[in-house]
Each structure stands twice: as C-alpha cells, then as structure tokens.
Amino acid sequence: MRLLFVHERFGAFGGAEANILAAAGELRRRGHSVALAHGPQTGKSEAEWEAAFHPRLEMLPGSGAQGIEAAISAFRPDLIFLHKLAEPQALRALAGCGRPVVRMVHDHDMYCMRGYKYNTLSRRICGRSASLYCIFPCGASVGRDPARRFGLRWISYLAKRREIALNRRFARLIVATGYMRDELIRNGFQTDRISIHAPVPRTGDIADSSNFSPSNRIVYAGQVIRGKGVDVLVESLARVTVPFECVVLGDGSHRPECERLTRRLGLADKIRFAGFVPQARIAEHYREASLAVMSSLWPEPFGATGLEAMRCGLPVVAFDAGGIREWLIDGVNGFLVPWMDRDTYARRVEALLRDKTLARQLGSNARKLAGERFGFATYIDGLEALFRRVAGNLAETPSDPVAALLP
C-alpha cells in the first residue's frame, strides 16, 4: 500500500514521534511505500526521519488545505494515516479528500481545549466531555503562549466543537487504551469506529536486561513539562531515605523549575537532568538501573516509556493516571501509586531499592507481561490488517450531520 503519514512536526520530540518513526520504518521494511506530510522541524534525530520517509512533503505554516491537497496529489496514497494535526482547513481537506483516513489519537488535544485533561491550578484530572463547562468554571478559553504579548492566547470553544465534528468523519480512530476509547465515546464518537492498538515502542526488540547495579539508579524518561509531574517526582524522592541516584532523560519547559526545586531540596548530587537523549540510547540507561519511574499527573493515554522499561526487565513505579493502570499491575510488574501520593510513592521506590530480589522478580514479571501483551510485530500486524480493511472499503468514511451545521 501507499501510506501517507500526516503529522504536525518532523523529527523527534515525544512519545508520539517515537511511535510514528518506529511504525513507519517497519511498514516500509514490509514493502509499503511510506511518505510524510509534516509541519515544522524539531531539529532532533532528523536523519532517522529522513531515512524512514520517501518522499517527505513539508506543509508550510498556514498552508491549510493547500498543503494537504498538494501532498495527496504528489503521493497519491491508498490510505492516509493521520497523527497530530489541529489546523481546521487541513482537517476539512482530509475529511473531504475522497481517500480513507485513519487517525491515531495520541493524546487529548482533539477534544480538550487545554489539551491535557487536567486543571492547570489544582492539577486535578478532568472526567468531562467537551462542553460549556470548559469555558466556565474551567476557564480553558485562555491558554498560555509565551510567544504572544502578555503570554496568553484565546482558545475558541466553537472551534474545538468543529474540530471534534471533523474528526468524527474519519474512517477509523486508533487509541492505545480502553481509557482513551471511553474518552472518545464520551465526546460522541461511534464505538464501532474506534480500534485499540497500543503503540508498542520499537525498543521491544532489546535482548539485554538491567543489571540492578548497587548504585541504586532510578531512570525517568520523558518530557519535562508540568503535566509529567517531574516536580512531584523530585518531592517524592526527597522522602527516600536510602542512597540513590536518579537520571532524568528528557527536556521541556518545566525543566528549569524542576532543577531549582532539586537544588532547594538538597538533591542536586542525587538527581541529574541529562536533557534530550535519542530513543536508541535510553535503553543504555535502563541496563544500569534498578527501577524506572513515571510521575505523570495528567491522564496518560498510554505511557509507552513505562513499557520500554519493562522490556528491559525493570519494575515501574507510577501514579494512577489515565491508561497507565491497563499495563501496570500493582505488586506484579511494579507499583501503581494513588494519584499525587508522594509518601506512598517514596515508600514504593525505597522498597525496590532496599530489596533487589523483589525488584528483580517484579522486573521479570514486567518483561514477561510486555512480551505477552505488547509485541511490536503484533502491533504492526494489527495496523496492516486495519489499513487493508479500511482501504478496501472507501464507503466506510462517514458523514457527520453535526459538522455540516457548524460554520
């Protein structure tokens, strides 16, 4: 098949980009022609992206429908695999292009005006659908934008409703967890058009396991943004009484604040912020670790970094947020901690550092569970089968009467 990926950026950035690169590389290896229509470049790991996509078709900022139409005309795909994209005219062009569109829903951007389904001030997780509640009392109509005067931007509720309606017109939506399926259903998507395919990381092929070294190394891998809760992780680790070293692999807007907090709590010699690390090198850090940590406070759609650690035979400690509970079984392959409970988080981390026999047993369980439930080849098999079904039935692309009524 000729598969046109569409995504808002080009290059490494977060979990969505890691999934896109891995899937594209394997689909290309299996004989499919894979192209990419994309937005701005990230400046990270772009050589790998260049190798994965032929051709790559850059959509200039603001090009809207023209950028999409030009990419479709140039590549003539059998199916379009849409990832993150919010530009209204581009979405409208995709919905009406006459070719089947399958969208991978990586996060909450599509149906949440804030994009992360938790309150900025209280950090409480939101369980509502998009509604007037988003305007008041949530106040999601005003968002942060450092590039603008006063650092704020206006977010339109009606525009978000139109975006949701346009996405309902696509042939299929792919999510990673039952939690994300339920979020789509809550926002009016048809159950029979939602497929669950967990975005298994390519690192599933790793054969080495952690050596649980005496250094008591803890690894965090992911973006350092407020929703990922690295500040709460630091506060939790401050309660750990045994020696440890923690390496934070990733970058983001919240990193300076987290580094200041680390110094303020006297942990500068225990927690090291390593910045962005290419995906292929993260496993090197896991091999020297005793456990992996996740500290997300926003409801994770899946949490693929935890699965990467499990592949290396590491137990995972994480807060119970979003879809994490669908792969992290408390006391089996790690510990699932009540949301924002710093004391329990610290006790769970300390238990694994003190008892390496326990850590190895949970790590072994983790590796076994990852292999049985989340195989990369199985994931790609599922995508291929879905693409063939959808591409063979163009009539599956539904109309949405709500979308026709919105301006």
pLDDT category at 270 given cuts 50, 70, 90 is very high
AA letter at 407? P
Angle, alpha carbons 400-397-158 (nearest 5°): 30
pLDDT category at 156 given cuts 50, 70, 90 is very high
Residue burial 293-330, b: 16+ Cβ < 10 Å; e: rest = bbbbbbbbbbbbbbbbbbbbbbbbbbbbbbbbbbbbee
> What pTM was estimated for this model as a whole?
0.90
Query: What's the Rg (C-alpha) of the chain?
Result: 21
Query: How many CB atoms are located within 10 Å of the residue 57 CB?
Result: 19
Domains identified in the chain and CATH numbers:
2-116+157-200+377-405 (3.40.50.2000), 205-373 (3.40.50.2000)
- The backbone torsions φ and ψ at residue 326, rounded to the nearest 5 degrees and listed phi first, read -80, -10
Q: What tokens does 271 get? A: 């927690």
- Give the whole-angstrom CA distance, residue 72 versus residue 87: 17
Give residue 176's pLDDT: 96
**pLDDT reading at 148 higher than 60:** yes
Q: What tokens does 5 get? A: 């990926």
Beta pairing partners, 43? none
Digit-coded pLDDT (tens) for 80-134: 999 999 999 999 999 999 999 999 999 999 999 999 999 888 899 999 999 999 9
Can you list the pairs that 143-148 forms with residues at least 24 positions away whose Cβ atoms lie under 8 Å? Answer: 143/113, 143/114
Element (H, E) at 354: helix 342-354
